[in-house]
Amino acid sequence: MTTNPLQPKGTVLVVDDDDTVRSGLYWALTSDYQVLQASSRDEACALINDEDVDVVVSDLHLPPHVDDIVEGLALIDVARAQNPPLQVVVITGSNAKRAALEAVKRGAYGFFEKPLDPGELLHFVNQAARMRQLEIENRRLREELSRPPGFTHLMGTSQALERVLKQAKSVAATSATVLLTGENGTGKEMLARAIHQESPRTDGPFVAVSCAALPEALIESELFGHEKGAFTSAIQTHKGRFELADGGTLFLDEIGDLSAAVQVKLLRVLQEREFERVGGTKTLTVNIRLIAATNRDLEKK
């Protein structure tokens, strides 16, 4: 499986006390994933706490108890205790399937046998990474469904918040483009969702994009889409976020991080609601409401 160039790489933590095995795991995965390495359960747990890990690939026999699987099973318990749980792929010898099955009972996604088969390993990790992303998405959707719609879950007693909510309520019923400003963590996306939910577009999609999280070389394709063959890895047509938000609301977070070149193309879409996919000549028209947010002072930018 080849990583989609439009998606950020996931992170895999490989855990084995054998340097040669760890090196083999690293080279088998590094083209598709960011790979972290640890030689013991303690090192692995520290990385799990400090890094955004998606999948753990671990031998069950770890120091200091390499004669049994107690350290490997303990690492599985730690990984599965994360919220949401990390997926674990176990490395085992051909004569240790019973131990591997015990690991699966403890929550491991699956196991593969030594000697290392890079294709088999990558297949397991790809499947485990997909499962991790599904769990994250399911968690996000459950949180959204548990919140009351619109402005009812945005409450406070400060006059500043009251003024913001009054302005948001007044603009929600319109189709006006909205710019939300404020420091990180102040709830700009929550307010954007509330405006969408209280608008006539509430039955349409709400599509959120973090401009800061996308590499500059890919953001044009992510926003406007691309045609098959537009570049080397474009094996099929890709709809951009503007198309996906048609009939609803597009939320561009950290819009101040966009390059000047992308801002020029964005201006045309805002004025005309028209654009072309990367590598395409057909002009596409969308009916969207744009809400943008930034933590910068754009007048000083």
Give residue 42's pLDDT.
94
114-142 tens-digit pLDDT: 788 888 888 889 989 988 888 887 777 77
Q: Of 285, 296, 224, 288, whose CA–CA distance to 255 is shortest?
A: 296
Average pLDDT value over all residues in the chain: 84
What's the pLDDT at 133?
85
Cα–Cα separations (whole angstroms), residue 209 to 64, 212, 230, 249: 45, 9, 22, 11
User: Of 114, 142, 170, which residue sits at a domain end?
Assistant: 142
What's the pLDDT score for residue 79? Answer: 94
Tell me: do 286 and 191 sit in the same domain. yes
Cα 176 to Cα 151: distance, rounded to the nearest angstrom: 18
Residues 6+ apart with CB under 8 A from 20: none
pLDDT top residue among 126 and 3: 126
CATH code for the domain of 125: 3.40.50.2300
Which two structure tokens, joined as six digits, stand for 146? 């548990």
Residue 273, in any domain of the structure: yes
Say if residue 158 is in the same domain as residue 69. no
Q: Both 161 and 123 in a single domain?
A: no
| Within-domain flag for 4 | no
Taking the C-alpha atoms of residue 171 and residue 82, their distance in angstroms, rounded to an integer, is: 40
Task: For residues 215-227, give the mean pLDDT.
Answer: 83
Asked if 100 contacts 90 with a C-beta cutoff of 8 angstroms, the reply is yes
Share of the chain above pLDDT 90, in %: 31
**CATH number of the domain to which 263 belongs:** 3.40.50.300
Provide CB contacts within 8 A for 173, sequence distance 6+: 198, 199, 200
SS3 8: coil
Locate 157 and state its tokens. Answer: 């007693």
pLDDT tens-digit profile of 156-177?
Answer: 566 777 787 888 888 888 888 9
**Cβ atoms of 146 and 138 closer than 8 Å:** no
Pairing of strands 55-59, 34-38: unpaired
The pLDDT of 40-62, averaged and rounded, is 93
